[in-house]
A = this chain, B = another copy of it.
């Protein structure tokens, strides 16, 4: 669990896209952000107050979050001065970079000397149990996709927000590093040891109020041969009551697998349901989320209408149209 609120470190980001983790935190948890810290030459701007460490400390910030990716995932020497100072000023550090904070001897030494925490969100910090499959109280919805990176995190964050805006009880449950940095908690599922994958998702989505929804971020795809086992652990560990199908219509092959075409939404629906019913016989598919970022407005609307008619399920692009109709479908369950 990462302590909030955050000061978002944008470093010397060469463009806004390099700061997309920070942007995600800013978009989805603005209440967790007291300000941004930028080095000379930074080309990203989240529209938050620029603060130095002292000002952020005074504003209540607890953790400096590295919200920027640089080439090679490295922790650059130009950042080190700020990171060491932050530890000395009493901040924890959090990072989703491939190279770990804890593997930097200087950061490790200063963190130990000052008693501050280094959160590398790519690495599990919990000893997860083996899944026991017991039925849990409360409700759960999971995003499943035709492919990796089709918008499952965005869909579930938007759905969680729409549900809370309607007064429903909802908690976004992060299963990837960006989601964990956004909310300060979650399971880095792709780094969990095989035997404990499903158990980690049971741990993440425990017993809850009967009318509470865990909105579980999906990972991978049952049809993506590199990561399908991770997806199935989410389906069986999450024992979802509801599934949302996610799709990006312009993709010509599975991400990273040029020889593999995408499955149809119907195939994803049928295979996901066959597997989901093992853990929860009452599971239903309640809606479809289409990532239309590569389509014009008219084409996007037409595509969603076509899918809605074909599958008989509310179909939206949550970025263009909001996630209200998906929240409504869950409220009606």
Residues of A at under 8 Å CB distance from B?
A: 130-135, 189-195, 197-199, 222-223, 225-233, 236-237, 239, 254, 256-257, 259-260, 263, 271, 274-275, 278-279
Contact = CB atoms under 8 A, between A and B. Distances in A.
A229 B226 contact: no
A180 to B, nearest CB: 15
A275 B263 CA distance: 12
Nearest to A190: B195
B191 A195 contact: yes
Contact of A193 (B133, B194, B263): B194
Contact of A232 (B133, B190, B228): B228
A194 B233 contact: yes
Contacts of A271: 274-275
A222 B275 contact: yes
A177 to B, nearest CB: 12
Nearest to A270: B274
A199 B226 contact: yes
A62 B229 CA distance: 37
30 contacts: A131-B226, A132-B226, A132-B256, A132-B257, A133-B226, A133-B259, A134-B259, A135-B259, A190-B194, A191-B193, A191-B194, A193-B194, A194-B229, A194-B230, A194-B233, A195-B226, A195-B230, A198-B226, A198-B227, A199-B226, A222-B232, A222-B275, A222-B278, A225-B237, A226-B236, A228-B236, A229-B230, A229-B231, A229-B232, A263-B278
Nearest to A279: B225
Given A228-B278, A229-B233, 13 more contacts: A131-B225, A132-B226, A133-B254, A190-B193, A193-B194, A194-B197, A194-B233, A197-B230, A199-B226, A225-B237, A229-B231, A232-B232, A271-B275
